């Protein structure tokens, strides 16, 4: 069995080497190189456009993206575009394809949960009776313009920060960083969160307190019962906090400062709009920190494995 796996790995490496060899030979011709470069960048632009259509980006989303791309060159890797573009475009398209189907899958899971899952714990009354847990302290001042702004922040907060970071990492020619943002947020967090959602019934603050929906989503009673589920921990918080921690590692000051501000506002909006309880937010921040550190460990192991294989290859070549 091990020999069969090794043969498959060897075959995969051989195919990848052949593809890169073909691209290298193509790049020896300036006209073909220019055409390939244009085609791949058109594919990149088309994929970004399709990403924007999943949640119907508005002009503010594009302005936000533009601001955060102003200093992507500060974090750009010294990698030839033609060696990066094929794998970068392919990775971006795969991430888009998963993202396009995610909302439908999430709605199916939420509906299934409502109809079939009997939660082991009901925390609605417990969380309502914990002093200050409803985050009312963050709603002492609620001007209409700020409420509308925070609705935009929260409405796109589950994915906008992630996609801006991924697109910027693409332009920085860093596929590993693209994956790091994705793995540290939704990919590793969802399997950890789902068991909580399946066993703990905790609904959004506005629903439990009998207040109007802070997002003004005009739910029917049936829709409200479905979409107010799954509060602990706050995934808006965990995703945003993970991206905030990764953004602090970037060299570009514009990206770093704006992204940290935006992610902080997403976390604040969950309490201001009466979506999440304070304990949800604290748990979400702990989860975001944990998944970032988990991915760090994973990358460290992969780097050690790659370095070991490289040394072995060098040793074989010297014989």
Using only the alpha carbons of the chain, give its radius of gyration. Answer: 23
Closest by alpha carbon to 127, among 201, 40, 60, 23? 201
Of 88-92, 222-226, 267-271, 300-304, the least confident: 222-226
Instruction: Inform me whether the pLDDT recorded for 266 exceeds 50.
Output: yes
> What is the model's pTM?
0.85
Q: Tens of pLDDT along 89-110?
A: 999 999 998 888 876 666 666 5
pLDDT of residue 111: 59
Asked if 241 contacts 221 with a C-beta cutoff of 8 angstroms, the reply is no
Considering the chain, what percentage of its residues have pLDDT values greater than 90?
65
93 CB contacts (<8 Å, ≥6 apart)? Answer: 43, 47
In sign, the C-alpha dihedral spanning 218, 219, 220, 221 is negative
Asked if 213 contacts 261 with a C-beta cutoff of 8 angstroms, the reply is no
Tell me the sheet residues that pair with 201: 122
Instruction: Inform me whether the pLDDT recorded for 222 exceeds 90.
Output: no
200 CB contacts (<8 Å, ≥6 apart)? Answer: 119, 120, 121, 123, 232
Element (H, E) at 200: strand 200-201
Instruction: Inform me whether the pLDDT recorded for 4 exceeds 50.
Output: no
Q: Cα(236)–Cα(151) distance, rounded to whole angstroms?
A: 13
Instruction: Inform me whether the pLDDT recorded for 16 exceeds 70.
Output: no
pLDDT of residue 2: 42
Q: Tens of pLDDT along 124-147?
A: 999 999 999 999 999 999 999 999
Closest by alpha carbon to 150, among 246, 261, 272? 272
**Residue range 18-42: average pLDDT?**
68
Q: Cα(284)–Cα(186) distance, rounded to whole angstroms?
A: 12
Instruction: Inform me whether the pLDDT recorded for 39 exceeds 80.
Output: yes
Asked if 117 contacts 198 with a C-beta cutoff of 8 angstroms, the reply is yes
pLDDT of residue 306: 83
Instruction: Inform me whether the pLDDT recorded for 1 exceeds 80.
Output: no
Q: Cα(75)–Cα(63) distance, rounded to whole angstroms?
A: 20
Q: Identify which has the larger pLDDT, 149 or 117.
A: 149
Tell me the sheet residues that pair with 122: 201
Instruction: Inform me whether the pLDDT recorded for 11 exceeds 80.
Output: no
Q: Cα(38)–Cα(248) distance, rounded to whole angstroms?
A: 33
**Residue range 220-238: average pLDDT?**
88
Mean pLDDT of all residues in the chain? 87
Residue 312 CA, chain-centre distance (Å), reads 36
């Amino acid at each position: 069995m091990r020999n069969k796996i090794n043969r498959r790995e060897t075959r995969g490496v051989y195919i990848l080497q052949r593809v890169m060899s073909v691209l290298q030979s193509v790049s020896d011709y300036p006209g073909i190189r220019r055409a390939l470069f244009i085609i791949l960048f058109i594919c990149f632009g088309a994929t970004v456009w399709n990403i924007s259509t999943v949640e119907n980006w508005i002009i503010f989303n594009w302005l936000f993206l533009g601001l955060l791309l102003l200093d992507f060159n500060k974090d750009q890797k010294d990698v030839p575009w033609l060696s990066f573009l094929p794998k970068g475009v392919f990775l971006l398209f795969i991430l888009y394809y998963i993202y396009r189907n995610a909302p439908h899958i999430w709605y199916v899971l939420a509906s299934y949960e409502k109809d079939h899952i009997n939660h082991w714990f009901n925390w609605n009354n417990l969380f309502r009776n914990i002093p200050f847990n409803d985050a009312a302290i963050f709603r002492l001042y609620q001007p209409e313009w700020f409420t509308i702004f925070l609705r935009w922040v929260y409405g796109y907060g589950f994915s906008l920060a992630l996609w801006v970071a991924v697109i910027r990492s693409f332009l920085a020619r860093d596929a590993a960083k693209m994956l790091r943002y994705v793995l540290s947020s939704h990919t590793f967090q969802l399997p950890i969160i789902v068991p909580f959602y399946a066993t703990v019934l905790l609904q959004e603050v506005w629903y439990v307190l009998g207040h109007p929906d802070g997002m003004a989503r005009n739910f029917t009673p049936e829709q409200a019962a479905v979409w107010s589920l799954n509060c602990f921990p706050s995934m808006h918080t965990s995703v945003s906090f993970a991206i905030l921690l990764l953004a602090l590692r970037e060299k570009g000051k514009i990206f770093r400062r704006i992204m940290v501000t935006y992610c902080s506002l997403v976390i604040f909006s969950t309490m201001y709009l009466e979506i999440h309880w304070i304990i949800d937010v604290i748990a979400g921040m702990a989860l975001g920190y944990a998944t970032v550190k988990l991915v760090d460990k994973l990358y460290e192991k992969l780097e050690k494995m790659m370095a070991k294989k490289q040394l072995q290859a060098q040793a074989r070549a010297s014989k």
